[in-house]
Structures are given as C-alpha cells and as structure tokens.
C-alpha cells in the first residue's frame, strides 16, 4: 500500500472513531526562498480539504515567532498550509506551491514553509472630487482593482489607504511573471483619448532587483480647468516594469507606469506632481 493510501486510511479510521484520535502538532519554520532567512511573525493557516463542497472545513491558525518557528495543533485530516502577513513574501495558497499535509493524529510532524518573494503593487485613484465616494454605498466599493495571470483568474487588490482624495488598492504580487491589471467602476473609466477603458486591462511584468525595497513612486496628472475628475495610476515596489505601452510611460520613472483616466467629462491638462 502506498504512503498516501496509508495516510488516508489512518485519517478515515480516526474520523470513524474521533474519541481515540488525538490532536496532532505540526511544527516548522517559515523562511524566504531567495535567502533561506527566517521570516518572523507570519501567520500560518491550516485549511482542511473537505470531501464534499457543502462541508465546512476546519481552519487552524498559529503565529510564527521572531525566529520564524511555528507550532499549530490540528485534528486528523488533510490540510493546505497557507501563510499570511509575511511582508513582501507570497502566500503559497494564493500564488501556487502550497503544501498539502496529511495529519493522521499518530505523531508530531514537521512542515517547513519556504516562501517566494513578491513586491507591493498599488493601483492609486486620485479622486479630488470624491466621485467614487458618491457612487458607492459600501466604503471602498466604488472601484474594483485586481490582477490576473495565466494561473490566477482574479486576484483582488483590497483597499489599503484612503484619505478622501487618494485611494490605494494594493497587495504583494509575484514579480518576473506576466500579469494584467484591471480596474472597473460604476464611475465611467476612459483612457487619455476619452475612449472607454478596455476590460482586458494592461499587461506588465515587474522585475525584482536591488531597488525592490524602495516604495513605489507616483507622478500625478491633474485637471486644472473645466469639469473636475481624477485619474488612475499604478506602480510597484520593484526595480523595473516592462510590457507597458511607451505612450503610457513617457517621462516617468522606471518603477512607475501610468494607467488610465478616471473621467467625469471635459479635456485634460498634464502636470507632474508628487503622489503623496
């Protein structure tokens, strides 16, 4: 009998007689794949893989210590191990490479977790007229921003900053991988020519380099006369970004790429200003 079959048999036996199935401790260290250094204070999440779609999975959480070591106690079953709060390192459950663990309840087990490096990616909405706020009933829902890849259908960028005039939707995403950023809103979105914003989004590829730890830099485009409106832009805390049309990047820094306009009618002036 294969090891997998044995593990599944033990799990089924435990489920059939829960009273004799002790909880099992899983230990390991969360590390960076690029440096092998420990990642401190990340949260390890064990999500049970259920047989039926209608079955509610058990979920267990544990925080790693300052040395990246964690211990999580789970009941017998098959689990997917995820990691959140790891700074600029990716959750394997969201971007692939997650560990599947069979907990039989018979002995302690180890599960080291090595995370791939990503970079903070932000879609910023400049909205001085607060058109987004006027169009929404739930805070932050006036615009949706997400990225896609060949393996990820839709990775939502949550709202992470809002001062009433500037909103940042962002998350850590993979670099050195073709991605597409898409924005949608109940407020009309157009490009610089006034044409409707393409639902296909803008493709790009970020590159990690020596500047990966630097914050993304932004340059503003502001309407100075006529109807008030805002605009969208995106950038990453990465070394360079490639694959964006030259017409969208002229005169901008290597770590920033202009995206599409968030319009409310009228023509535009272009004037450079700092983002924050």
Write the pLDDT tens digit of every residue in 115-158. Answer: 999 988 888 888 878 888 888 889 989 889 999 998 888 999 99
Sheet with 99-103, edge to edge strand ranges: 59-63, 43-48, 77-84, 99-103
Give Cα 64 to chain centroid, integer Å.
Answer: 20
The 10 Å Cβ neighbour count of residue 227 is 11
| pLDDT: which is higher, 155 or 252 | 155
pLDDT at 124: 83
Degrees to nearest 5, angle at CA 238 with 237 and 240? 135
Contact, 54 vs 12, CB < 8 A?
A: no
The 10 Å Cβ neighbour count of residue 165 is 12
| pLDDT: which is higher, 190 or 256 | 190
> What is the average pLDDT across 26-48?
96
Going by pLDDT thresholds of 50, 70 and 90, the confidence category of residue 204 is confident
pLDDT tens string 54-70: 788 899 999 999 999 99
pLDDT at 30: 97
Short-list 151, 98, 88, CA closest to 121: 88
pLDDT at 203: 81
Going by pLDDT thresholds of 50, 70 and 90, the confidence category of residue 175 is confident
pLDDT at 186: 79
Q: What is the pTM of this model?
A: 0.73
pLDDT at 205: 81
Give Cα 37 to chain centroid, integer Å.
Answer: 22
pLDDT tens string 76-98: 889 999 999 999 999 999 888 88
Burial of 134 (0-12, 13-18, 19+ CB in 10 A): exposed
Domains and CATH numbers, the chain: 3-115 (2.60.40.1120), 118-262 (no CATH)
Q: Check whether 215 has a pLDDT greater than 60.
A: no
């Amino acid at each position: 009998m294969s090891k997998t079959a044995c593990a599944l048999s033990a799990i089924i036996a435990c489920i059939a007689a829960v009273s004799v199935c002790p909880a099992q401790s899983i230990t390991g260290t969360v590390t960076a794949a690029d440096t092998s250094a420990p990642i401190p204070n990340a949260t390890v999440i064990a999500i049970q893989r259920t047989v039926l779609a209608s079955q509610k999975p058990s979920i267990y959480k544990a925080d790693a210590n300052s040395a990246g070591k964690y211990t999580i106690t789970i009941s017998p079953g098959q689990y997917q191990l995820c990691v959140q709060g790891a700074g600029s390192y990716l959750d394997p459950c969201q971007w692939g490479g997650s560990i599947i663990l069979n907990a039989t309840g018979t002995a302690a087990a180890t599960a080291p977790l090595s995370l791939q490096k990503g970079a903070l990616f932000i879609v910023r909405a400049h909205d001085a007229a607060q058109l987004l706020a006027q169009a929404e009933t739930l805070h932050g829902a006036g615009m949706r921003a997400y990225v896609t890849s060949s393996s990820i259908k839709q990775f939502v960028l949550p709202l992470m900053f809002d001062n009433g005039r500037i909103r940042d939707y962002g998350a850590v995403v993979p670099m050195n991988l073709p991605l597409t950023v898409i924005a949608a809103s109940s407020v009309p979105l157009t490009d610089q020519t006034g044409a409707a914003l393409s639902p296909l989004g803008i493709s790009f590829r970020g590159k990690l380099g020596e500047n990966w730890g630097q914050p993304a830099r932004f340059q503003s485009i502001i309407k100075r006369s006529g109807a008030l409106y805002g605009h969208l832009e995106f950038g990453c805390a990465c070394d360079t970004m490639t694959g964006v049309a030259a017409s969208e990047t002229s005169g901008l820094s290597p770590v920033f790429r202009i995206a599409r306009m968030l319009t409310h009618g009228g023509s535009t002036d272009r004037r450079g200003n700092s983002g924050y």
